[in-house]
Amino acid sequence: MASEYYKPTTPGVRHRTRSKQKLSKTKLIKKLRRINKNYAGRNNSGKITIRHRGGRQKRFLRLIDFKRDAFEIPAKVNTIEYDPNRSANIALLHYQNGDKRYIIAPDGLKIGQTVISSKENAEIEPGNTLPLNKIPVGTPIHNLELTPGKGGQIIRSAGAAAYIQDKEDRFVSIKLPSGETRRFPAISMATIGQVSNPDHKNRKLGKAGRRRLMGWRPSVRGVAMHPGAHPHGGGEGRSGIGMNSPKSPWGKRTLGKKTRKVKKYSTKDIIKDRRSKK
């Protein structure tokens, strides 16, 4: 998928790019939308817990079917739409029983195509959902369940795909987009195909104002601050971080500091760490 460029009529449009794709422009279904309230990085007491947030454009939250639990009911792809809350596109499915649901659109899914979710047999086609033990080795998958029955939790961003490496009796080994190889329960559900909009990573916003409309406020480098505001601050001229290790504004180690708990319950499922070079 190629990028779409704009005529340089203004400085903000001169370097702007986006994915070149045809999306449906239809009204949202009322029962499948909610107002996505903007909390601007504040917690329940009003204190800022996430910096550099605020001032976002109004959004509707689309209710996505991550579980795909309408088993053995064929569904027709009615539209493929833009979703402001995620990098991937979404598809509206019309089921034969009259139900309507949004799903994450896989790459290559076409309007008018039929998809199905099954626990036993379904074609290995983009958009179909099956248990891991029913999917052939080497097949790209997304929307993968960590806990069977909970719904897809990982591999949902634009262009992402995991690949089945090996099968055992109760577990299936999968190579994740990060490079990590991990085992999952064989009865976990996954959707066939790569996530849509793979060219998302190549887009250029073009101007700071678009970033503000997305809800991001400006950030300042620590080395540009005074020493009272940041551990990296102070010094004469353009000074670096200094002799001390990189730190957050609150003095905690960062930039390479491992934050994963050593005794985390899911560590036993990691076959190959994403950092290993072998």
Quick: pLDDT tens for 183-210.
999 999 999 999 999 999 999 999 999 9
Q: What is the pLDDT of residue 278?
A: 62
Q: What is the pLDDT of residue 259?
A: 87
Quick: pLDDT tens for 166-188.
998 899 999 999 999 999 999 99
Low-confidence ranges of the chain (pLDDT < 50): none
Split into its structural domains, the chain has a count of 2
**CATH code of 41's domain:** 2.40.50.140
Residue 69 and residue 104 in one domain:
yes
For residue 117, is it within any domain?
A: yes
For residue 41, is it within any domain?
A: yes
Residue 232 and residue 115 in one domain:
no
Residue 163 and residue 278 in one domain:
no
Structure tokens given for 259: 């934050």
Q: Which residues contact 195 (CB under 8 A, 6 or more apart)?
A: 88, 104, 105, 106, 107, 142, 155, 156, 157, 158, 159, 160, 161
Q: What is the pLDDT of residue 255?
A: 84
Note down the domain range covering 273. Answer: 220-278
Q: What is the pLDDT of residue 32?
A: 93
Q: What is the pLDDT of residue 240?
A: 85
Its pTM stands at: 0.86
**Interatomic CA distance for residues 93 and 79, integer angstroms:** 8
Q: What is the pLDDT of residue 275?
A: 84
Dihedral angle computed from the Cα positions of residues 178, 204, 211 and 154, in that order, rounded to the nearest 10 degrees? -20
Residue 194 and residue 271 in one domain:
no
Q: What is the pLDDT of residue 83?
A: 92
Residue 177 and residue 256 in one domain:
no
For residue 213, is it within any domain?
A: no
Structure tokens given for 72: 């053995």
For residue 209, is it within any domain?
A: no
**Residue 212 in contact with residue 55, Cβ under 8 Å?**
yes
Structure tokens given for 31: 């029962």
Residue 84 and residue 180 in one domain:
yes
